[in-house]
């Protein structure tokens, strides 16, 4: 029974914990607004404003990482391989002693570390989870991103949703999104979903 509870908890942790690669490189499910960075992650000169050019360059880099065979499209096989690699990396990070099993102590240590990281991010941004809540999209590239439903995602499809989000946030249409515009767009999104501000 104890092993069953631990396995269930581990599965939930892996699902809820996010993808390690997304902390720095985004995910094909929400390419422009990736976990841990949001649109802010595309702000390469760290001036607090994201230009359309910065976002496009960031999306190009992420697409290149996901398109592992360089054929200009992301296939289900590439997505599956990336998901497996991330799951393996998460398990390895949890399995501190490298014995192929995750003990309760290892699980608890990883949970405490994740909670501390979340608290630290909350202190830095002033609002916990800024990049996650406003920009959460469908998981994986298959559904929302595969516009023509052919089973692959082209670069244009990959960029489309993120650039559309950028354009909606760019209130004065000057091809850049300031922190104030991001805040306003986030507030509008929350209001639309009936979430508290």
The model's pLDDT over 141-157, given as tens digits with 9 standing for 90+, comes to 455 688 888 889 999 99
pLDDT at 193: 83
- If you average pLDDT over residues 51-66, what whole number do you get? 94
Backbone torsion region of residue 181, taken as left when φ is above 0, otherwise alpha when ψ lies between -120 and 50, otherwise beta: alpha
User: pLDDT: is 26 or 92 the higher one?
Assistant: 92
Residue with tokens 């014995």: 99
Residue 18 has pLDDT above 50, yes or no: no
Dist. CA 161–CA 145, nearest whole Å: 7
For residue 38 the two structure tokens come to 């949001």
Residue 81 has pLDDT above 80, yes or no: yes
pLDDT at 17: 39
- If you average pLDDT over residues 74-88, what whole number do you get? 93
- If you average pLDDT over residues 181-185, what whole number do you get? 91
Global confidence as pTM? 0.60
Residue 27 has pLDDT above 80, yes or no: no
Looking at mean pLDDT, say which of 17-21, 39-43, 119-123, 177-181 comes out highest.
177-181
- If you average pLDDT over residues 61-90, what whole number do you get? 94
User: pLDDT: is 178 or 16 the higher one?
Assistant: 178
Helix (H, G, I), strand (E, B) or coil at 38: strand
pLDDT at 7: 44
Backbone torsion region of residue 101, taken as left when φ is above 0, otherwise alpha when ψ lies between -120 and 50, otherwise beta: beta
- If you average pLDDT over residues 81-100, what whole number do you get? 93
Q: Over the chain, what is the mean pLDDT?
A: 76
Please state the domain extents for the chain: 2-192
- Contact (CB, 8 A) for 140 and 30: no
């Amino acid at each position: 029974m104890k092993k069953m509870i631990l396995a269930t908890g581990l599965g939930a942790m892996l699902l809820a914990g996010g993808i390690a690669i997304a902390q720095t490189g985004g995910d094909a499910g929400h390419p422009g607004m990736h976990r841990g960075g949001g649109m802010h992650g595309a702000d390469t000169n760290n001036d607090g404003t994201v230009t359309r050019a910065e976002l496009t360059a960031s999306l190009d880099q992420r697409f290149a990482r996901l398109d592992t065979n360089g054929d200009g499209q992301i296939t289900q096989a590439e997505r599956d391989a990336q998901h497996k690699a991330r799951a393996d990396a998460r398990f390895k990070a949890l399995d501190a002693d490298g014995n192929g099993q995750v003990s309760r102590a290892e699980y608890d240590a990883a949970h405490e570390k994740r909670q501390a990281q979340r608290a630290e991010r909350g202190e830095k941004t002033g609002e916990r989870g800024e990049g996650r809540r406003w920009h959460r999209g469908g998981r994986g590239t298959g559904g929302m991103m595969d516009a023509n439903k052919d089973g692959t995602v082209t670069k244009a499809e990959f960029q489309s949703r993120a650039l559309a989000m950028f354009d909606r946030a760019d209130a004065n249409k000057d091809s850049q999104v300031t922190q104030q515009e991001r805040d306003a767009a986030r507030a509008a999104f929350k209001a639309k979903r009936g979430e508290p501000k």
